[in-house]
């Protein structure tokens, strides 16, 4: 197969136990323990009614404004998969709409990430199937290709490999590399536990934060 015309099988994917564990954690905490160095870009916002997204990535590299290979990915998808589409961020033509959403719901898809536009936004907004996209347009897609399925893609510098873990909530979305999910989960769970403890102390009225002045002194502030 030549570049631009490849439909590949996914060789690995994060398991259901990993997906279940990460559903307990805010995306922000996972991002923090990944050194705040990875993000899907602030342009990609949740378009659905609400709810957490987590699942293995089924990646698509699409020509901007063309969704032929997204349809192919829907044929290949398994329940719980997240179809992640690098459509170049172009907002001229929608990549998915209500009909594809119905197909996705029927097969139990875990969600869509579209670095591009959607349409039928009212139907998407009324539903709970996670959809993250960069914008909305009424103009429909073309179906001519080229495109690729299950190849490495990138969205605003965030690299997504087929089978990586993709998570999302109201703050945005994040890709956790397949080989790192165990270590990142442990670190994020520990951070979540620490924040819950801090919140409990705050609710008790313990609002002093001596670390603020200590940090200012370390950085050279005077008069502290």
- Binding-site positions for Mg(2+) read 120
Residues 6 or more apart whose CB falls under 8 angstroms from that of 25 comprise 167, 185, 188, 189, 192
Binding site, annotated residues for substrate: 97-100, 119
Residue with tokens 């594809």: 100
Q: How far apart are CA 78 and CA 67, in angstroms?
A: 19
Strands 53-62 and 165-169 come out as antiparallel
**Contact (Cβ atoms closer than 8 angstroms) between residue 118 and residue 45:** no
DSSP bridge pairs for 86: 61, 115
Binding site, annotated residues: 97-100, 119-120
**Contact (Cβ atoms closer than 8 angstroms) between residue 167 and residue 31:** no
**Contact (Cβ atoms closer than 8 angstroms) between residue 92 and residue 63:** no
């Amino acid at each position: 197969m030549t570049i631009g015309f490849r439909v590949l099988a996914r060789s690995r994917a994060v398991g259901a136990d990993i997906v279940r564990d990460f559903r307990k954690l805010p995306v922000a905490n996972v991002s923090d323990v990944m050194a705040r160095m990875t993000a899907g870009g602030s342009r990609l916002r949740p378009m659905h009614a609400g709810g957490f997204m987590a699942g293995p990535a089924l990646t698509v590299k699409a020509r901007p404004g063309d969704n032929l290979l997204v349809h192919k990915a829907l044929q290949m998808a398994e329940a719980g998969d997240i179809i992640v589409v690098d459509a170049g961020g172009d907002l001229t033509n929608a990549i998915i709409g209500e009909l594809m959403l119905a197909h996705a719901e029927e097969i139990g898809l875990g969600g869509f990430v579209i670095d591009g536009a959607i349409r039928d936004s009212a139907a998407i907004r009324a539903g709970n199937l996670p959809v993250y996209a960069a914008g909305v347009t009424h103009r429909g897609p073309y179906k001519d290709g080229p495109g690729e399925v299950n190849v490495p893609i990138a969205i605003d510098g965030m690299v997504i490999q087929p089978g990586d873990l993709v998570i999302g909530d109201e703050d945005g979305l994040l890709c956790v590399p397949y080989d790192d999910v165990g270590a990142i989960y442990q670190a994020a769970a520990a951070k979540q536990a620490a924040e819950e403890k801090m919140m409990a102390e705050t609710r008790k009225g313990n609002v002093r934060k001596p670390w603020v002045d200590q940090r200012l002194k370390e950085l050279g502030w005077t008069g502290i």
